[in-house]
Structure formats: structure tokens, C-alpha cells
Structure 1
Amino acid sequence: MDPSAEDTARIEAAVFRRLRDHLVRVRPDVQNIDLMILAGFCRNCLADWYSEAAAEHGVALDKDQARAIVYGEPFDQWKARHQREATPEQLAAFEDARRRHG
């Protein structure tokens, strides 16, 4: 049985919430640069996509609001508690990934 459009939207929303909650609660230690290196997106990308989807549905959501939704708190607070300075190795891997997948 194929899910209805409404069921699909509910399932996709649940998957997004699970991904967000995993990044917020289980793995806040995972650095955005590592996500970018491995997956080509990070929490900021998710926030941008969230904001863009909101706009497509007529909902105004600025960058800070979208980031607070994705990070589970204001970005500045998350950054102060969890973000570390990127290492030279991370920066090199990021540049390599960007060149390969650019």
C-alpha cells in the first residue's frame, strides 16, 4: 500500500524530528565541519532548508529562528557549549571534499 500524501508528509516530518533530536540530544559533539566533510551538509544547511520550506508555505522564519529549531537552542548558545575550533586536518579535509563534490 502506498502512503497518502498526508501520511508521507507526517512520516517525513517524523524522520526530520528524529534526525534533529539525534543531533541535539545524542550527538551535539559532532562538529558541523565533520558533517560537511562526510555528508556535504550540516546543521546550518538544515536550518536554511527549514527556512526555505517555511517560506514556500508562506511562513516567515528568519535565519536565527530556523537555527534555534534545528539546534534546539539559540545558535550562539549551542556554539559556545559545543563548537570547537576546526583543526588544520579538518580544514584540509573540508577543502578536499569541497573540491571533489563542489
Structure 2
Amino acid sequence: MSANPNETLDELSGSVASVRDQAAPVLDRVTAQAQALAKRSAQAVRETSQQLRDNAARVSDNTVGYIKDEPIKSILIAAAAGAVLMALVTLLARSRGRD
């Protein structure tokens, strides 16, 4: 390096410019890869959301069909499920009351 401060600053400025020029393509490539990843991720989320909506609609349709085909059985299943839930709620309420 030179002893002259102006020459030293010019050399440093040139070095910084050189590093910036070398880093720019790498940064551009990394940015492009990050954008592509974000785009693929967003598409995957959209596809998964659509699949979940389709599955929920199918399950709903199957449930309605079952209720239409087996109304008595459906009522008994619903009553049994309600009884089990009430028993669980009662047990939880009693156990919390003891604590």
C-alpha cells in the first residue's frame, strides 16, 4: 500500500467496487432462488388447501348420505356420542372440583 492517504482511499474504493461487482451475480442468483422457493411454497399451500376443502366436502356429502340411508342408526350414534361427551365433561368438572 502507498503512504499517500488519497491513494490508499482510492485503492480501498477500488477493492470495494471489485467485491461488489463479484458479489452482485451471487446475490442475484440467491434472490432468484429464494423467489422461486417462495413461489413453489405458495403453490403447495394452495394445492393442499384445495385438497383439504375437497376432502371436507366429500366427508360432508358422505355423512349426509349415511344419515339419509340410516336415519335411526344415525340418531342412536349421535345420542351415544352425546352421552359419552357429557360423561367426559362431568368427569372433568368433578376432577377439577377436587383439585
Q: TM-score, normalised by structure 2?
A: 0.34
Q: Greater helix share, 1 or 2? A: 2
Q: Which has the larger radius of gyration?
A: 2
